[in-house]
Structure 1
Amino acid sequence: MAWIDAHIHLWTSDTDSYPLAGGQTAADLDPPDFTPEMYLRHARPSGIEKVVIVQTGYHQFDNSYATDAIKRFPDVFSVIGIVDETKENVQEDMEALKAQGVRGFRIGVDYDGPQWDRLFEAAARTGQAMCPITHPAGAPAIKEMAAKHPDTTVVVDHMTRVGEMEPINDAHIAQLTDIATLPNTNVKISRLHALGDGPPHDDLIPMIKQVIDAFGPERCMWGSDSPYQVVKETMEDSISVVRDKLGLSESDRDQILRGTAERLFFS
């Protein structure tokens, strides 16, 4: 089947062509590089045909390595970029990046200041998603902003990383699933390599089922979080959890492994 990996990172050791942000050097890159070709060698055997690149802090506001991947593989990649939310004309940057294939933006959850409302409002106008990354404590802030901006699509990364820094618990799951009460919210079932006890990830199955029940398959998508997934485990260790272990119907499986990401990032 033609699956979509909704969350990977790419970067290059060619820092002359793609300078690093904030005084970082090639020594900071871990792994030293992870190119489109390197990723696809891991992805193709698992039936992955489309991929969402999520910009990292290595290049921060310079999204060109990711957008250049779209130019090289136009039917494969889409991008979630990073934009400078402090700029008053941020919508102009968002629109320019959308023309290059950037369908959303990675953000945090510290929403102090008027720049965040400006960013969410701009995203509603441009049709690009806000993609917050956080630990469980940030879930209420995500819900508050999503409620404040109902016309903005929100995609929660990594199930708010429940089970990464401390054991999975019902309170953290409840905070995550509470976000699902807002129809403009979506969630990535991703970064499984860092959550819970490790492969075969059977300990994550009850939580993932609760997340799918709350959001519905139509607002859930799977992502590997490569390169970290394939450095620590294999691609199959992650995708097989959704594909084979949740007891999903064929249509629900296809929705999570393809349909939701296709609607949000490729349509």
Structure 2
Amino acid sequence: MDIVDSQVHLGPGGAAEMVAALDALGIASAVIDEWWMGTPGLPYYGVGDGKNAQRTTSPTAELASWTYPGRFSYLVRVDPRDPELAAVIRLARDADHIRALRVSPGMTRQEMAEFSNGLYDDVFRLAAENGLPVFTQVAGHADLLERMVTRYPDVRMIICHCGMPPGGNLWPIIAQMEGQLDSEDFWRALSETPHDEAFDKVLSMSRHPQIALKWAHAPVMFDAAGYPNLAARPFLRKAIDAFGAERVMWASDISANQTGESWAELIFAIADNPDLSVEERKWVLGRTARTWLDWPAGQQEPA
């Protein structure tokens, strides 16, 4: 089976070790979201007035993609406040190994409000114009995407992390990042939304064919910790029934996994799931990512 992990973090360094792990696990390729597991967004530098916009860099991901052709590609996190946003996205389009953009408007209430008020419009407009899909972290607010679908029907969006509110291990981190007096109360309450109610918001977006779902962090999002993550299975079934397997892609996000499963266990929770057909498993574990990210199996990058 052609397995693609549609989100791993890497850097600084570590590509050789990750290739060894991919080989051992039977993973053909991985999409790097370069983050050094410290300050959110690193590595980046400040741009614009007051240096208040973050422009990320991907030195590890770029080197890994050139060094191991076909094994790695990567996405680029973009900031809508970047004064050279159009150029950044054009460069991403023309780069040999970049497959997508990523934004995370769902991490603070201020950012969600600005998303609703148009701050991110240029990101999605430019993504559509340049043919790049946008991974979007909305953290329980999938309905925010309705506006973008209406305004930019040609843009392809991939909802990150099952589209769910932050799970029990995650909401304190987000509350601390937001840093408002009522942040703990807000994010705790959101995390306690019944799973069916929260996931219905995500499933409702399946009516838009330009939206796909990244199946990542399901164990923490659905209180399904421990292989084989049985409590998450009904929700994956619902996702596939709503979106179709061709719009659901698996990701381990292994370095940020909150529930302790090994990388292999996260794979086999899907590969050995009796609720899925063999064809559905092939789509979720690799073919969907290949299709949506325009990354054919066995593709070798130009020398």
Aligned to 1:247: 275
Alpha-carbon distance change, 161 to 112 in structure 1, aligned in 2, over 3 angstroms: closer
| Aligned mate of 2:99, from 98, 103, 128 | 103
Aligned to 2:220: 194
Amino acid at match of 1:90: L
Aligned to 1:58: 42
| Aligned mate of 1:36, from 8, 11, 15 | 15
CA distance in 1, matches of 2:217, 2:16: 21
Amino acid at match of 2:146: K
SS in 2 for 1:48: coil
Tell me if structure 2 keeps the 8 A contact 1:192–1:238.
no
| Aligned mate of 2:86, from 71, 88, 91 | 91
Amino acid at match of 2:136: P
SS in 2 for 1:52: strand
- What is the Cα deviation at residue 88 of structure 1? 4.6
- What is the Cα deviation at residue 155 of structure 1? 0.4
Amino acid at match of 1:102: I
Aligned to 1:257: 285
CA distance in 1, matches of 2:250, 2:74: 15
Percentage identity across paired residues of the two chains: 21
Alpha-carbon distance change, 67 to 149 in structure 1, aligned in 2, over 3 angstroms: same
SS in 2 for 1:103: strand
CA distance in 1, matches of 2:219, 2:201: 22
Q: Which moved more, 1:107-116 or 1:247-256?
A: 107-116
- What is the Cα deviation at residue 220 of structure 1? 0.6
Superposition RMSD in Å: 2.1
SS in 2 for 1:5: strand
Q: What's the CA shift string for 1:200-240, capped at 9, x where partnerless?
A: 21011111111111110010110000213499321122111
Aligned to 1:19: none
- What is the Cα deviation at residue 74 of structure 1? 2.0
Find out whether 1:170 has 2:170 as its counterpart: no
Between Structure 1 and Structure 2, how many residues are aligned?
245
CA distance in 2, matches of 1:94, 1:246: 41
Amino acid at match of 1:199: G
Alpha-carbon distance change, 239 to 230 in structure 1, aligned in 2, over 3 angstroms: farther
- What is the Cα deviation at residue 128 of structure 1? 0.7
Q: Which runs of 5+ in 1 are unaligned?
A: 13-33
Q: Which runs of 5+ in 2 are unaligned?
A: 36-40, 45-55, 106-111, 169-190, 297-303
